[in-house]
Amino acid sequence: MQFLNHLFPNVVPIWTGDGGVVQAINETLYMTIVTTIVAGIIGLILGVLLVLWDEDGLVANRPAYFVLDKVVNVLRAIPFIILLAIMSPVTRALVGTGIGPTAALVPLIGGTAPFFARQVQNALLTVDPGVIEAAEAMGLSPMAIVFRVYLREGLGELVRVTVLTIISIIGLTAMAGAIGGGGLGNLAIAIGYQRYENDVIWVALIFILVMVFIIQFIGDVIARKLHH
Amino acid sequence: MAKEAVITLKDVDVRFHEKNRDVHAVDHVDLTVERGDIYGIVGYSGAGKSTLVRAINLLQRPTSGSVNVLGEDMLSLSAKALRGERKRIGMIFQHFNLMNSLTIADNVAFPLKGLRPKAEIQAKVTELLQLVGLEDRANAFPTELSGGQKQRVGIARALASDPEILISDEATSALDPKTTSAILDLLKQLNETLGLTIVLITHEMEAVKQICDKVAVMDEGAIIERGSLLDIFAKPQKQLTKDFIDTTLQLDAAIASVRDQPAVAHLQGADQLVRLTYLGASTDQPLVATLYKDFNVTANILFGDIQILQGTPFGNLIVVLSGSQDNIDRTFKYLADNDVQVQHIDKEA
């Protein structure tokens, strides 16, 4: 305790309680997990649609592909910090407030879903087209091919891009935190940076890095299990 | 036995647009395959073979023409009905196209999953793996298998839904000659035991020779020649067909080495260097003896190749015929009357 007090003099007093370190960790986990699930589902659906509507896809649809492709590109091109500002009216309409972790979810999902959609598209395009053709020749429906071939054969790549996306979400939560979203990013900036309490910044960083390493580790374990 | 047409393509034409150029992949092709046939379609890559066979199960929709398979007008079917029809047409591929994430048993079970009771699927998978000789590899993954074994899995998978037709798309092209031959034997065996109709596309005439009973030769999207295997080998009309047949003989190398022999270098008078090609019955005659006895023409055999096509001998000889001009002319007439093809070979390249 003595040692920690000495090393992180400003952290120990705010370890628990409102606006404390534990709360910040919980908020970051909350934003990361909810964003991963919601943006994951939206991105997966959009990514699959991009693959299916593609010129060489199972249900090629040129206009639909064109529109979705452009929307994904434009959304991905918007810097997250600007997206936060642009989406704030939407956030207020949906959540009732522009501040706090739940409010931060809206831009987080808005920024992550198109990113993940593109990642999913690229992951599924690594599936051997020959295998898709074989499934078609066996009389499988496009829906069955998505679930039984694309998502199955592309699983290893999907795990890889999911890990990549979750790590990127953790990074975005820190940014959202900086403008009032809460979490470790908020802790580092609002307390550590603005009050010149460098040890707080370091502690926030350490926890973020630990989260990233854990996600990476889990991803590697799953990837190894899937590899034949 | 009246044969039943199981595949009838009429005036099938396939065009598509590809990177700034229009491709006329299949050029107004008619094709009839009867039940129990092993129908070989041979041609160089880019000749349109793959596109043509994909018009059978509509993996490639023709631009125009009609496709009738097993009595169904394929082009008029709904998407759902088409999927049902596809289950009656198995397909195997050059690169096997197995699911790497599934075991061998699961790959074979793949087309049946959800359509039949589990126990029934398991019994079927065991039966199929026995049929292709892989029962001991059921729990292996495709990456642990050799090319030939992978193709056996591909065949077992294609047979899972008890198809009446099997389309083989260059299925042996990625395999070594010995494995190729074993896979072809397996296909022949399936044809005989299950009555499976097989459409086999390949660029290897050797494969066609081994198992097909009918052949079509494709070039630039069109079928330029077709017939029974024996007819095509006995009397090829088009140069491309002749070229394909010669690939089974290693004739080019033979002719080159024949030219180096003294008997050829010192051809005299009316001596002729010719290639004699004959099939079946004409082989029964003691050809060389007859030429000497009846026409006083000697035939010096420099190269000989006799293969058996569907139980019928198919012979190719390169000989120097020596005798008087008159006798040699009479010899040629005799050979023509007896269905022996004669082709003159220049003594220099």
Orientation of helix A21-53 relative to helix A101-125, angle to 10°: 40
The answer, for A224 touching chain B at a CB cutoff of 8 Å, is no
Write down the pLDDT at residue B49: 95
Residue pair B57/B69 in contact by the 8 Å Cβ criterion? yes
**b/e for A3-24, b at 16 or more Cβ within 10 A?**
eeeeebebbeebeeeeebbebb
Which pLDDT tens digit goes with each residue over B89-108?
A: 999 999 999 999 999 999 99
- In chain B, the residue whose alpha carbon lies closest to the alpha carbon of A227 is B101
CA–CA dist B303, B257 (Å, integer)? 9
A-to-B residue pairs, Cβ atoms closer than 8 angstroms: 63
Burial class of residue A204, CB neighbours in 10 A (0-12, 13-18, 19+) = buried
Is the predicted pLDDT of residue A12 greater than 80, yes or no? no
Cβ atoms within 10 Å, residue B252: 11
- Compute the average pLDDT of residues B162-188: 95
Question: What is the CB neighbour count within 10 angstroms for residue B105?
Answer: 22
Closest to A74 (Cα-Cα) out of A111, A124, A48, A122: A111
Q: A114-128, B160-174, B321-335: which range is least confident on average?
A: B321-335
**What share of chain B has pLDDT > 70, as a percent?**
98
| pLDDT at site B73 | 96
What rounded mean pLDDT belongs to chain A?
A: 92
In this prediction, residues B269-295 reach a mean pLDDT of 79
Cβ distance B199 to B178 under 8 Å?
A: no
Smallest Cβ distance to A130: which of B57, B93, B144? B93
Residue B242 touches partner A, C-beta closer than 8 Å: no
Confidence of residue B60 (pLDDT cuts 50, 70, 90): very high
| B99 contacts A136? CB cut-off 8 A | no
Determine the average pLDDT of the residues in B182-204. Answer: 95
Predicted pLDDT of residue B281 = 63
Q: Which fold has domain B5-236?
A: Rossmann fold (3.40.50)
- Among chain A residues, the shortest Cα distance to B54 is held by A137
CATH superfamily of this structure's domain B249-344? ACT domain (3.30.70.260)
* Predicted confidence (pLDDT) at residue B213 exceeds the cutoff of 60: yes
* Rounded Cα–Cα distance for residues B170 and B207 (Å): 10
Q: Which two tokens stand for residue B268?
A: 């005299």
pTM of the complete model: 0.87
State whether A228 and B95 contact (CB < 8 Å).
no
Asked whether B70 and B88 are in contact (CB, 8 A), the reply is: yes
The token pair at A71 is 């929307």
Report d(CA B331, CA A115) in Å as an integer: 81
pLDDT of residue A57: 94
Measured CA to CA in angstroms, residue B78 lies from A57, A147, B69, B73, B151 at distances of: 19, 22, 15, 11, 31
Residues B92 and B186: their CA atoms lie apart, in Å, by 13
Domain boundaries defined on chain B: 5-236, 249-344
> What's the mean pLDDT in A43-61?
96
- Segment B119-142 mean pLDDT: 96
Stretch among A3-12, B77-86, B211-220, B276-285 having the lowest mean pLDDT: B276-285
Contact A75, A64 (CB under 8 A): no
Higher-confidence residue of A16 and B136: namely B136
Q: In sequence order, what are the beta bridge partners of A19? A: none
Mean pLDDT of A76-96: 90
* Residue percentage of chain A with pLDDT more than 70: 99
For A169-185, b/e burial (b = at least 16 CB within 10 A) is bbebbbbbbbbbbbbbb
Report the percent of chain B where pLDDT is more than 90: 63
- For the residues B304-310, what does the mean pLDDT come to? 84
Average pLDDT, chain B: 91
Q: Which amino acid is at B48?
A: G
Q: To the nearest whole angstrom, how far is the Cα of A59 from the nearest Cα of chain B?
A: 12
In chain A, the residue whose alpha carbon lies closest to the alpha carbon of B57 is A137
Among B111, B143, B144, the residue with its CB nearest the CB of A138 is B111
Which residues of A fall within a CB distance of 8 Å from B79? 141
Query: What single-letter amino acid sits at B79?
Result: A
Residue B272 binned pLDDT confidence (cut-offs 50, 70, 90) = confident
* Strand pairing class (B89-93; B165-169): parallel
